[in-house]
């Protein structure tokens, strides 16, 4: 049996999830904590490879002894979160744990992921959102929000999303199925919520930049189907910074 854990983290101080040779990563900190907790090296397989500066409300991973598919421990799962988190820095915590079969894969068994992108939409920046939301100083009114929602609706469905992928990326297919896409206001925050069976590199950040352009009146919401069909990255909006992006939910 493997241990399945759910993790929250602020990604500001990390190069992303995956271990890198010259920068701290989330995986590195989890590996170090697991070694201290269980007494041997572990393989920790994550559900995604979040980029530098990206956060997670719910990141899923499995823990097994290095070189095999199982974890041997007398520690019951209900005690794992507190014990694990005691060996992690303050910006990373394990908040849930359970046993899963040895053949379970944290990445390849994912059915759907949901991301949030937070935009702090006020003339003056708020230091409490620094590094946790993208500051857009031009305040978007209700009409702009309605245009963004109209545009987001065009993204739902099985489509080729190459127009919203970082240039230079290589994948077997750029077709993905977006299950839902919405934009909501929460005080001075605008929150894009999007779920899909998978995401291309920088897909959510480019979609967010495109929807911001819709809100600013630079792109008509009904242009979105043509932009998507073009598979042309240059027709979509900017790639917004990583600071506002959160992996929010993972379904298996």
Token pair, residue 61, equals 């991973």
Neighbours of 167 (CB within 10 A): 10
**What is the distance of C-alpha 155 from the center of its chain?**
18
Print pLDDT tens along the chain (252 aa): 999 999 999 999 999 999 998 999 999 999 999 999 999 999 999 999 899 999 999 999 999 999 999 999 999 999 999 999 999 999 999 999 999 999 999 999 999 999 999 999 999 999 999 999 999 999 999 999 999 999 999 999 999 999 999 988 889 999 999 999 999 999 999 999 999 999 999 999 999 999 999 999 999 999 999 999 999 999 999 999 999 999 999 999
List residues with catalytic annotation: 51
pTM (two decimals): 0.95
């Amino acid at each position: 049996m493997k241990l399945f854990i759910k993790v929250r983290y602020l990604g500001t101080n990390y190069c992303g999830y995956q271990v890198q040779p010259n920068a701290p990563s989330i995986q590195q900190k989890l590996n170090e904590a697991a070694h201290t907790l269980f007494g041997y090296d572990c393989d920790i397989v994550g559900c995604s490879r979040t980029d530098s500066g990206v956060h997670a409300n719910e990141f899923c991973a499995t823990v097994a002894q290095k070189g095999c598919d199982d974890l041997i421990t007398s520690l019951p799962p209900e005690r794992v979160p507190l014990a694990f988190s005691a060996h992690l820095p303050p910006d990373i915590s394990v908040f849930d744990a359970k046993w899963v079969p040895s053949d379970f894969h944290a990445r390849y068994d994912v059915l759907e992921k949901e991301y949030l992108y937070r935009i702090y939409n006020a003339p003056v920046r708020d230091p409490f959102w620094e590094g946790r939301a993208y500051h857009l100083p031009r305040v978007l009114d209700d009409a702009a929000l309605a245009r963004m929602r109209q545009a987001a609706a065009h993204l739902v469905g099985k489509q080729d999303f190459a127009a919203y992928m970082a240039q230079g990326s290589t994948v077997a297919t750029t077709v993905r199925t977006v299950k839902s896409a919405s934009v909501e206001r929460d005080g001075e925050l605008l929150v894009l919520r999007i779920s899909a069976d998978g995401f291309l590199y920088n897909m959510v950040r480019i979609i967010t930049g495109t929807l911001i352009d819709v809100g600013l009146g630079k792109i008509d919401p009904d242009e979105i189907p043509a932009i998507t069909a073009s598979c042309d990255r240059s027709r979509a909006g900017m790639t917004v910074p990583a600071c506002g992006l959160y992996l929010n939910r993972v379904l298996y």
